[in-house]
Amino acid sequence: MNYHNVSFEAAYGLKQQIPVSRLPEVAFSGRSNVGKSSLINKLLGRKALARVSSEPGKTATINFYNLDNQLHIVDLPGYGYAKVGLSDKQRWAGLIEGYLKDERRNLGLVVQLVDIRRPPSEQDLQMIGFLQQMEIPFVLALTKADKLNRREREARLSAIASELPAGCEETVVIPFSSLSGEGVEPLREILEQLVQFASEHPELLTGQPEAEPAAEEARDEDVTVEYIGFDG
C-alpha cells in the first residue's frame, strides 16, 4: 500500500450515521491519553492527520481515514476519562459498542492500545473481554515504549501475559513508540496481510448494492451498552 496516499474521510458522532462498509476496516481502540492519535499518525507517516487532543477524552466521534483506497483506518473514541459527564460516556460507549457489533462492517481487526508502563486498566480489560466475546480478532499495541529503560521494559513485557484475561495467550503483542517508530513495521505488515486476505476473498465483504436495504433497517436498531464501563 502507498502510505503517502492517505486522507481523512469522515467523522460520525452517532452509530446510525455510519454508512455500510465499502473497504476492509482496522479499528484502533484505547483509553484516553494512551497515545492513539500519535500511533495512527506515526503508522500512516503523517504528522497531524489524526488530531492529538490537548484535553484527554475530548474525541467524541468515530473517525475514518482512507488508506490508498484499500483500507479504512477507524479511530474509535477514547474511553475511561473521569472528567467527562455520564451522558457523554454513555453515548461514546454506545457509539463504540454499536460500531463493533454492526454486522455491516468489514472489520478485520482491532488494534487495542495499552500504556506499556502500567497494567491494563479495568476499562482495557472490559474492552478485551468484549472483543473476545464478539470473536473480533485483535492485537495489543503497548504504547510509549520509549518511556522505559531496558530493565523496566523487560519486566513489563513479562508481566503483561499474566495481566490479560484468559484466552489471550496467543495474542500478538507489539511494543510501540510514536517517537522512535518502533512497532510501525510490524503493524504495517499486519495491515498488508489483512488487505491481501480481503482481496483474495471479496465474497466476505459487505457493501454490495443488494445488501443496502437490510442495512437501512439495521441503522435504526437501538444499541444496548453491556460491556464498556463508564467510570474513569
Mean pLDDT across 120-132: 95
pLDDT, mean of residues 10-20: 90
C-alpha separations of 149 from 61, 69, 108, 142, 183 in Å: 35, 39, 34, 14, 17
Within a domain: residue 1? no
The pLDDT, as a whole number, for residue 32 is 85
Asked whether residue 116 is assigned to any structural domain, the reply reads yes
pTM of the full structure: 0.85
User: What single-letter DSSP state applies at residue 86?
Assistant: H
Q: Give Cα 154 to chain centroid, integer Å.
A: 25
- Give me the torsion for CA of 156, 58, 187, 165, rounded to 10°: 50
Residue 79 falls inside a structural domain: yes
Q: Residue 86 is placed in which grid cell? A: 455520564
In a domain, 135, yes or no: yes
* Confidence tier at 47 by pLDDT (50, 70, 90): confident
Q: What is the mean pLDDT of residues 195-200?
A: 94
Within a domain: 89: yes
Confidence of residue 87 (pLDDT cuts 50, 70, 90): low
The confidence score (pLDDT) of residue 52 equals: 57
Task: Give a yes or no: residue 100 inside a domain.
Answer: yes
Sheet holding 173-175, edge to edge: 6-12, 62-67, 71-75, 25-30, 107-115, 138-143, 173-175
Q: What is the pLDDT of residue 34?
A: 94
In a domain, 173, yes or no: yes
Residue 224 lies in a domain: no
Using CA atoms, how far residue 181 sits from 1, 66, 111, 177, 215, in Å, is 18, 21, 16, 5, 39
pLDDT of residue 55: 54
pLDDT tens column, 128-163: 999 999 999 999 999 999 999 999 999 999 999 899
Domain range enclosing 143: 6-219
What is residue 203's predicted lDDT score, i.e. its pLDDT? 85
> Model confidence over 90-99: pLDDT tens digits?
666 788 899 9
Q: Which three cell numbers stand for residue 122?
A: 479495568
Could you tell me the CATH number of the domain that includes residue 101?
3.40.50.300
Give me the pLDDT at residue 219, please.
Answer: 40
